[in-house]
Structure 1
Amino acid sequence: MKNNFFKISSLLFLVLIFISCDKDFNSLDSEVIGDNHFDLEKEEVSVIAYTKATGPVQANNLPLNALGIYNNPKFGQTKAHFVTQVELGAENPSFGYDPVIDSVYLYVPYFSSLQSTETSGERIYELDSIYGNPETGKFKLSVVENGYYLRDYDPTNNLQSAQRYYSDDKNLIDPFKGTELLNNSSNVDQNNEFYFSKKELYIYKTDGAGLFVDNSGVVLSDQNDVTLRVIKERKTPGIWLDLKNSFFQQKIIDATASGNLFNNNIFKNYFRGLLFEVEEISAGQGALAILDFSKAELKILYKASAEPTVDNPNPIRTRREFSLKMGYNSSSTLRNNSINLLEYNYTSDYQTGLDNSNEVTGDEKLYIKGGNGSVVFLDLFSASELQTLRDNVANNNWLINDARLTFYIEKDEMAAVDKDEEPQRIYIFDATNNKVIVDYSYDSSSSFNPKNNKVVFGGIIQRETDEPKKGIKYTVRLTEHIKSVLKVDDNGDYQDNIKIGVSVTESINLVSTAAVKNTILANGSEINYIPLASILNPLGTVLYGSHDNVPVDKKLKLEIFFTKPN
């Protein structure tokens, strides 16, 4: 199985995230960033690399959200819950006379791709952005009413800034959550034994009263024979939950007279949304999906008629539908606040790696993990070698042709992790100034798969050619950055030797950042933001570091290639 996996800088970046998935990565950078520098001389520069835990991360209003349970043999368990406001599809609705709900359903599509169509007409899909085994990774899914009001603005700052919520804020939500199970179907696949099915979903033709009919509208004599039913609508694989009629009858349909449905500002305080909670069925079991909840369908199907009159005392009751909206989408008018609530149980190995990190000597092993995980920071150049290189560039006319960082994967540490659950790309960023490295901006290369854009900048995993094709290394180009550090600019100044950050990424096109709850202290620097794309990716990897104990051929190194005049 192929597995792929919060402020957005532009609509374009969001589109790029949604239309591709990690499974389309390859080792393009191994071809572009080659090792042939026959006419150049190489200098290897010292690097101090060390891991820092992110702690809780900003997790509200993300473009994508995780839901489920993911067990990574190296890093531990992630439980991802989700809470979201719900919005009226139409404000101040009129439901007609004596409206009674027939059914309520929620559909959230998975990221998937059509593989084939059977002779029977069944369409076969492959799921993307699922971690763990989707078919066997069952867990308990409970949907209940959320009673905690998700604010737009922060009252501690006189409502002058947007409210931030963090990945560990489940303690805010839990005291106010409802006790009534809303996904109460008798089908355990929707609650007590939920799993991410890759089957196409069918909506069958009915008589409006819940009975299946044939093409002529005649009620089928055998309501249990699926082969006799007529497919009215097909949907790609996704979450399908039949929700509790009586709750929505009282909360929505019967609430029109109260004024609580007059507009969405009033409604969001009256009905504060839905909470999706996950629980293990058995230890080590589960799967996790990355979802776009703004594309969900939440529909109430009901019957009602016009108001009776003297001339028409028994008006015909007709089947109608009313839509509710959920999730957050910065590119539309849909602005329902949401939080991805993350719970972690780290392995002892991962926790030890975090605890033993040393920003003075550098680490033997570097731990990069998305979500509420860890990032790596790099301090390049000792003071003396920086000055020496600057002097050689200035006085001896050394020309900087290429510079790259090479990170080797610690294969023994990652042996138990499936190749499809290795991060497909890492991302280098300017941690000092909370922005992209100049090489990122210089690279305009693009690909049919947008996640392979900026291939010259690099960071894409390079794999073995033989099965199981596990990862070998990641290479990132820093040529323009190194030039700016070693060469004076037009004003005769050098760019500061910044601290560099390294994270996993969900999309190279997403360069926005999100806050950490607690400042990260990294060898004298205060880091308050990390890449948003790292928060969206649940995967992790272990890399060889810069410590002297690391084998020479695996040690993290910065290589600079110069042309040195005779």
Structure 2
Amino acid sequence: MKKSFLKIASLAFLFVLLISCDKDFNSIDSDVIGDDNIDLSVREVQNLVAFTQKTEAVQSNNLPINALGIYHNPKFGLTKAHFVSQVELGNENPSFGYNPVIDSVYLYVPYFVDSRFTTETNGERIYSLDSIYGDPETGKFRLKVVENGYYIRDFDPTDNLQTAQKYYSDEKSTLIDPFKGSELLNDSDNPAQNNQFFFNKKELYIYKTNGSGQYVGADGQVLADQNDIALRVIKERKAPGIWLDLKESFFQQKILNATASGNLFNNNIFKNYFRGLLFEVEEIAPNQGALAMLDFSKAELKILYKSSAEPTTENPNPARSRKEFSLKLGYSASTSLRNNTINLLEHTISPAYQAGIDAAGTERLFIKGGSNGSVAYIDLFGNGELETLRNEVATQNWLINDAKLSFYVDQSDPNGMSNVPAAIEPKRIYIYDATNNIVLLDYTFDASTATKIKNNKLVFGGILETETTGDKKGIKYTVRLTEHIKRILKVDSDGNYADNVRLGISITEFINISSSTTYINRLTNQQGQLPLASVINPLGTILYSNHPNVPNDKKLKLKIYYTKPN
């Protein structure tokens, strides 16, 4: 009795430790359940029906997170991620004062960072960046910001404005390009802001100035040498992010000089007058670049200008003062920010990836996010194994304790493809009910959280297990399907089995995002659904299926742990 109690207590302690773990880790595939010391039986189901489905162009407007940059994956091809957003007035019908003149205009978009900062040298802080694919500092590319001339609609006119407008990842050349401006707005002399752009890990500084915009020293006096950065006083530190000095003359004419026209009266009028900004990317050299996931709703777009009150007889020369005016871009479903956006994704598919997609029913499953991506599907029934197990559960009253589905990563070079370093292997996959495009019960029941949001729902799993030495390549992904398997193997109180649904497998960027979106085949106009979080992740992985040619220890496996009654 005492020994049994200790076993149960130890198991409970380890399970609580597992779900409460709040640190980086490689594996969720605990061997506690199924240990030889605990009287459980295991049934391994291998003959599952699994196949890959290409997703083509994907709906990419008003995403919670957007990609910007260039990412080359030697297995899957080249992705170029452009972005277009409407812009809002911070204050409608603004008054800029008498004879306003712009000092400067800047755009700041923060990156996701892993920690506060990793190193500090001579007061300069270097951060570890998250959600950037490729080398952030050597992966340089050209970044162009121009005026967007296409009006991004709220509602679909082909449906009498009854449904929200859908825009797709492949519509840059057909919808956006014919109306874009030709004037380069990020025209700084600093090449890191345009022709040699890169994702800088260093924090950003805003320096102290006087009312006229001149830099001042620690004593508040104007610096004699305005170009000597060492003499400036740091007023504000900002986490690493995109910083672009924008063309002053454009915003002088477009914003400050437009008050009398009525185009700044409210945001409905303004969004048609100024239809937003387009961020375009170009390669500097073949296969060079990096790509970042960004929340543009957190961006700062500020106009710094000088103006005064209108002159009067009593005060013919009123003092001019420095002021700022904010514009807003990006879309956020959680706030009142409703600027329509589109992530425009160009993906040049590699011949090897195309061959893998075309070779249906082969040894591998190709899973890729973004545009021209792919998901995999699994049918649990149809091969006889689960049908037999269902009968045994019913006739022998077995108790289902746990169920885990494991996918092994193909680390070889199939079809002559190059190995992809472990650093760019997707960190997580997501399994869902693909019949109804909803989450599984195991996803819903898992309320575990972590400091890093991407590691939430730890028990549900899907996080990549990697090697501990060498290149630390990906080994496998494991997802728990205990509640789902229980309901399809055991009858409910009414004597019915839960519906046998098709399972979908996709890449995910954020596990907390569980909604679906649309993909479309332009040749057939056929549409389908896929997880939204797959659209906002450009990575891909190749997993082994259960084809007879796959080594037994690498095959797709469903392990079901159960207890037989005494």
Of the three residues 320, 325, 329, the one matched with 1:326 is 329
1:439 aligned counterpart, secondary structure: helix
Distance 1:463 1:91, change over 3 A: same
2:272 aligned counterpart, secondary structure: helix
More displaced stretch, 169-178 vs 110-119: 110-119
Given that 2:213 and 2:322 are in contact with CA atoms closer than 8 Å, whether structure 1 keeps it comes out as no
How do residues 394-473 of structure 1 correspond to structure 2 at under 5 angstroms? 394-413=394-413, 416-473=419-476
Distance 1:25 1:356, change over 3 A: farther
Given that 1:457 and 1:478 are in contact with CA atoms closer than 8 Å, whether structure 2 keeps it comes out as yes
Given that 2:74 and 2:418 are in contact with CA atoms closer than 8 Å, whether structure 1 keeps it comes out as no
Corresponding residue of 1:126: 128
Distance 1:446 1:224, change over 3 A: closer
The offset of 1:395, in angstroms, is 1.9
The offset of 1:207, in angstroms, is 4.1
Corresponding residue of 1:546: 546
Per-residue CA deviations over 1:61-113 (Å, capped at 9, x if unaligned) read 11111100011121111100000000000000000011111111111111123
The offset of 1:262, in angstroms, is 0.3
The offset of 1:383, in angstroms, is 5.8
Equivalences, count: 536
Where does the alignment leave 5 or more consecutive residues of structure 2 unmatched?
A: 1-21
Aligned-partner Cα distance in 1 for 2:258–2:215: 31
Aligned-partner Cα distance in 2 for 1:119–1:355: 52
Question: Is 1:515 aligned with 2:518?
Answer: yes
Given that 1:140 and 1:278 are in contact with CA atoms closer than 8 Å, whether structure 2 keeps it comes out as yes
Given that 2:398 and 2:564 are in contact with CA atoms closer than 8 Å, whether structure 1 keeps it comes out as yes
Given that 1:86 and 1:336 are in contact with CA atoms closer than 8 Å, whether structure 2 keeps it comes out as yes
Question: Is 1:182 aligned with 2:182?
Answer: no
Of the three residues 288, 313, 316, the one matched with 2:316 is 313
The offset of 1:32, in angstroms, is 6.7
Aligned-partner Cα distance in 2 for 1:119–1:542: 41
Corresponding residue of 1:149: 151
Q: When the two structures are superposed, what TM-score results if normalisation uses the length of structure 2?
A: 0.90
Aligned-partner Cα distance in 1 for 2:42–2:105: 66
Per-residue CA deviations over 1:125-183 (Å, capped at 9, x if unaligned) read 12111111111111100000000011111111111111111111112111000001011
Distance 1:379 1:33, change over 3 A: farther
Given that 1:432 and 1:527 are in contact with CA atoms closer than 8 Å, whether structure 2 keeps it comes out as no
Given that 2:51 and 2:365 are in contact with CA atoms closer than 8 Å, whether structure 1 keeps it comes out as yes
Distance 1:34 1:389, change over 3 A: closer
The offset of 1:51, in angstroms, is 0.9
1:85 partner letter: Q
1:198 partner letter: K
Indicate the percent of aligned positions where both proteins have the same amino acid: 65
Distance 1:34 1:131, change over 3 A: farther
Distance 1:33 1:444, change over 3 A: farther
Given that 1:148 and 1:173 are in contact with CA atoms closer than 8 Å, whether structure 2 keeps it comes out as yes
Given that 2:118 and 2:128 are in contact with CA atoms closer than 8 Å, whether structure 1 keeps it comes out as no
Corresponding residue of 2:483: 480
Greater than 6 Å deviation, 4+ residue runs: none
2:107 partner letter: L
Per-residue CA deviations over 1:206-262 (Å, capped at 9, x if unaligned) read 345554332334332323322112222221111111111111111101111110000
Corresponding residue of 1:216: 219
Corresponding residue of 2:139: 137
1:99 partner letter: P
Question: Is 1:192 aligned with 2:195?
Answer: yes
Given that 2:23 and 2:451 are in contact with CA atoms closer than 8 Å, whether structure 1 keeps it comes out as no
Corresponding residue of 2:382: 382
Corresponding residue of 1:287: 290
1:54 aligned counterpart, secondary structure: strand
Aligned-partner Cα distance in 2 for 1:294–1:316: 35
Distance 1:163 1:376, change over 3 A: same
Aligned-partner Cα distance in 1 for 2:405–2:542: 16
The offset of 1:482, in angstroms, is 1.3
More displaced stretch, 200-209 vs 131-140: 200-209
Q: When the two structures are superposed, what TM-score results if normalisation uses the length of structure 1?
A: 0.90
1:410 partner letter: D
Where does the alignment leave 5 or more consecutive residues of structure 1 unmatched?
A: 1-22
Aligned-partner Cα distance in 2 for 1:246–1:219: 26
1:457 partner letter: F
Corresponding residue of 1:371: 370
More displaced stretch, 349-358 vs 393-402: 393-402
1:106 partner letter: L
Of the three residues 154, 164, 179, the one matched with 1:162 is 164
Aligned-partner Cα distance in 2 for 1:479–1:48: 19
Corresponding residue of 2:357: 354
The offset of 1:321, in angstroms, is 0.7
Q: CA RMSD in A?
A: 2.1
Corresponding residue of 1:172: 175
Given that 1:114 and 1:124 are in contact with CA atoms closer than 8 Å, whether structure 2 keeps it comes out as no
Corresponding residue of 1:69: 70
Given that 1:425 and 1:505 are in contact with CA atoms closer than 8 Å, whether structure 2 keeps it comes out as yes
